[in-house]
Amino acid sequence: MTDAALYRLDGKVAAVAGAGSGIGEAVALGAARLGARVCCFDLDEKRARAVAERAGAGAEAAAMDIRDGAAVAAAFDALRQRAGRLDVAVCTPAINVRKPLLAYTEEDFERVMSLNVRGSFNVLRAAGRIMTTAGRGSIVLLSSIRSQVVEPGQSVYAATKAAIVQLVRTAAAEFAPVRVNAVAPGVVDTPLTAPIKANPQWYEAYAAKSILKRWATPDEIAAPTLFLVSEAASYVTGTVLFVDGGWTAIDGRFQPPGM
């Protein structure tokens, strides 16, 4: 196999949860360009179908609520039956309720936990059952820099992203030779971060925090994700790949005189 071929996904079947927008959309389209047969899952079936149409021949779409474990398992099983295999699963959906801890309600807590943790768990479990039976495959869940560093108002979201890291590590230990990894983005221009982008001061503060002094595009998160599910990452499992422009590498923004 040539070096370039290691990054290809020809002949692979890929399921992308959250493919209707943002990072999930970029992952689905990128996987299709690399030769995968892609199934675009999203709560919004109309958006998923629009992405599948852009992905080209062989791509398909279906509605799926990742919070419903039985529905996720049924959708993944149906895809495997149609396609004959399942090689790649990527789960991207997340929600954030930005509130101080003391202002959080039980309903807020359940809303964030049910999508971010239960949803990711449901995708991990459904894909894992199929892939461990086949003895092959690769799964990527989306964590965040918030699994490591926080700010006011990020408590429950941060907790969910840390939980995903531990789910990934445990699954990697249990599912081998199936590989399981996490991607941890920094700030990315997606529908989830639209409220931040709408506030110029907030937007610029986040841009300034990273070494690269800018936000990421969804494609810049999709590319490392697709690396992890390719044969180029055949010895990578149980890890967290930070794609954050250096956000977690630096401590503060002050540059001492003379430096």
Burial 168-198 (b: 16+ CB within 10 A, else e): bbebbeebeebbbbbbbbbbbbbebbeeeee
Q: Say yes or no to pLDDT of 256 above 70.
A: no
- Condensed to tens digits (0 to 9), the pLDDT of residues 54-81 reads 999 899 999 999 999 999 999 999 999 9
Separation in Å, CA 109 to CA 94, 120, 145, 146: 13, 16, 20, 16
* Closest by Cα among 190, 212, 187 to 202: 187
Read off the tokens for 200: 């110029």
Task: Examine the residue annotation and report whether 157 is marked as an active-site residue of this protein.
Answer: yes
CA terminus-to-terminus distance, the chain: 46
Separation of CA 147 from chain center: 14
With tokens 């923004």, the residue in question is 253
d(CA 184, CA 15): 19
Indicate the average pLDDT of the chain: 95
Confidence of residue 5 (pLDDT cuts 50, 70, 90): very high
- Determine which one of 7, 104, 157, 206 is catalytic: 157
More confident position, 254 or 137: 137
Q: 24 versus 251: which is more confidently predicted?
A: 24
Residue 229 reports pLDDT greater than 70 = yes
Q: Distance (Å, rounded) from C-alpha 108 to C-alpha 98?
A: 9
**What gap in Å lies between CA 244 and CA 183, rounded to an integer?**
10
Spatial CA neighbour of 60 closest among 14, 102, 106, 107: 14
Residue whose C-alpha is closest to residue 72's, from 84, 59, 86, 58: 86
The DSSP line for 7-37 is G--TT-EEEEETTTSHHHHHHHHHHHHTT-E
pLDDT > 90 in the chain, percent: 90
Name all domains of the chain by residue range, CATH numbers in brackets: 4-243 (3.40.50.720)
In this structure, the dihedral spanned by the alpha carbons of residues 115, 118, 119 and 123, taken in order and rounded to 10 degrees, is 170
Phi then psi for residue 110, to 5 deg, are -65, -40
